[in-house]
Structure 1
């Protein structure tokens, strides 16, 4: 009986860890576990797709230690030391998120041009793999490196579907997913309407980019007000910390509670303000 229970326990543990250790696709391509797919997509969009996740965690830990040690050396207030360590550890995620957001917004304007180049190549008689590979030289500059990697990859093994999967991982963009899945379907199913579908997609992408640019420009004051509202009280705290009596006050229990409450309030207020001025982003459904 104990042998059967031990076997069932081992089987349960194996099934628990299998999504984290085994590939999610039958073609052997490695895939990040679901909890880390968003992190991997953000790194890829920020141009850091080749950086391992453990390295990112190590850098975050080092920055947290340095920021906490600096806060302790300057102010010598435990609660502010903890806050400084948390802020130091959050620097890398914030920088990666900001860079990924900027690149996503910049790419939104170039995807219609990518589709136009694909339509021109297909109408000129080029095959779909050659049309995609030609974007390494003819496509917009921000996407040439990814399509250049596709061209080299396809030249090595000639597997169009697998190369598209790797290209989607490198671009990490929902618009790119839709374009590449359209090409995959045209390659596997066939049909003469691929150029019409791509032209319709290009028109929709141009309209969406123009609308988003107008809304973002009108709501920029919300983001600026959120940043100012978050930074102002902490800048005031740094100015007041130059007085010894202020350090003594914040080193007490009441001062520590006040700092912690201030951190929670500013964080919630900042997230609320950003949420009010944020447009809904497309998710990567076609991984």
Structure 2
């Protein structure tokens, strides 16, 4: 029994670490290479790509099921009641989705926040005598950090397949609506050229900054309900596991048919309430109007 309790303690410690990191925004970073979305890529695979991971959909699903299965076995061994372990196992099975969802949101936010500075960097390059293509290519070395990797091969691509195709590759790598809008304007500036380029880019930088400010205000307003809903969902089940961890009236009751009914009703209410709160506090996602054909929207 001691090894099982030790494993359970380690697992709960890891879960607590990830949960706190998810709520505070300090999660471990896993290095990943940016890929170009291929035609026909599923939305789930693109979702993982936007999270900055190279996991396939199958690997993600298997990992989530494994986390749920391990949690179910440990909690069932600790409490002596498989029914008590159902909700904690389901919650832990969804933890990878929450983790990568947080990484995806943070990565997209970093990209969006970087664009006003990136556009101003392009304007500065043009005013210093560089061409538009040279100014865009300079983002790979002197631009904001979130944009450097995506533009690292732009100069080579522009020489080999042309600027429009190279920008399409960049758009596919970044895979978000703000980047789509900016790359479309850069394509237009490349085609038109002339004095209008800097004016268009200044207007774009100003409009993007206003959009980002609005999105930050919306995200701030929705943060507290998200944290409260997850805490209200998790705490009762944590207390239930602790109550059933040792022999006593609580453990005996939840082994009976009446206890099973109570757990099932409570699980249904908890999941329904969590789903409603998550739906109401979900961040609005702008549709990718200028997304690549076959890409995510």
Interval containing the TM-score (normalised by the shorter chain): 0.7 to 0.9
Deviations 1:63-100 (A, max 9, x none): 23322222232223233344344333312111000111
Q: Residue 275 of structure 2: which of 266, 271, 276 is its match? A: 271
CA distance, structure 2, for counterparts of residue 149 and residue 41 of structure 1:
21
**1:137 maps to which residue?**
141
CA distance, structure 2, for counterparts of residue 55 and residue 272 of structure 1:
29
1:240 aligns with 2:243: yes
SS of corresponding position for 2:80? coil
CA distance, structure 2, for counterparts of residue 274 and residue 91 of structure 1:
15
Q: How big is the shift at 1:127? A: 3.8
Change in Cα spacing, 1:200 to 1:286, as seen in structure 2 (3 Å) is same
**2:73 maps to which residue?**
69
For the Cα contact (< 8 Å) 2:51–2:101, is it kept in 1?
yes
**2:124 maps to which residue?**
120
Instruction: Give the TM-score taking structure 1 as reference length.
Output: 0.76
**1:23 maps to which residue?**
none
CA distance, structure 1, for counterparts of residue 110 and residue 263 of structure 2:
38
Instruction: Give the TM-score taking structure 2 as reference length.
Output: 0.74
Q: Residue 40 of structure 1: which of 30, 45, 49 is its match? A: 45
**Larger helix percent:** 1
For the Cα contact (< 8 Å) 1:146–1:167, is it kept in 2?
yes
**1:231 maps to which residue?**
234
CA distance, structure 2, for counterparts of residue 85 and residue 237 of structure 1:
14
SS of corresponding position for 1:110? helix
CA distance, structure 1, for counterparts of residue 69 and residue 158 of structure 2:
44
SS of corresponding position for 1:196? helix
CA distance, structure 1, for counterparts of residue 166 and residue 264 of structure 2:
50
**1:18 maps to which residue?**
none
For the Cα contact (< 8 Å) 1:174–1:283, is it kept in 2?
yes
Q: Residue 281 of structure 1: which of 258, 281, 285 is its match? A: 285
**1:31 maps to which residue?**
39
Q: Residue 250 of structure 1: which of 234, 247, 254 is its match? A: 254
For the Cα contact (< 8 Å) 2:189–2:200, is it kept in 1?
no
Q: Residue 53 of structure 1: which of 52, 57, 66 is its match? A: 57
What is the RMSD of the two structures over their aligned residues, measured on CA atoms? 2.8
SS of corresponding position for 2:138? helix
| Residues 73-92 of structure 1 aligned to structure 2 (within 5 Å) | 73-92=77-96
CA distance, structure 2, for counterparts of residue 84 and residue 219 of structure 1:
25
Change in Cα spacing, 1:228 to 1:91, as seen in structure 2 (3 Å) is closer
| Residues 120-269 of structure 1 aligned to structure 2 (within 5 Å) | 120-154=124-158, 157-188=160-191, 192-244=195-247, 245-269=249-273
* Structure 1 residue runs without a partner (length 5+): 1-28
Structure 1 runs of 4+ aligned residues shifted over 6 Å read none
For the Cα contact (< 8 Å) 2:72–2:88, is it kept in 1?
yes
**1:108 maps to which residue?**
112
SS of corresponding position for 1:254? helix
Q: How big is the shift at 1:60? A: 2.1
Count how many residue pairs are aligned between Structure 1 and Structure 2: 255
For the Cα contact (< 8 Å) 2:84–2:241, is it kept in 1?
no
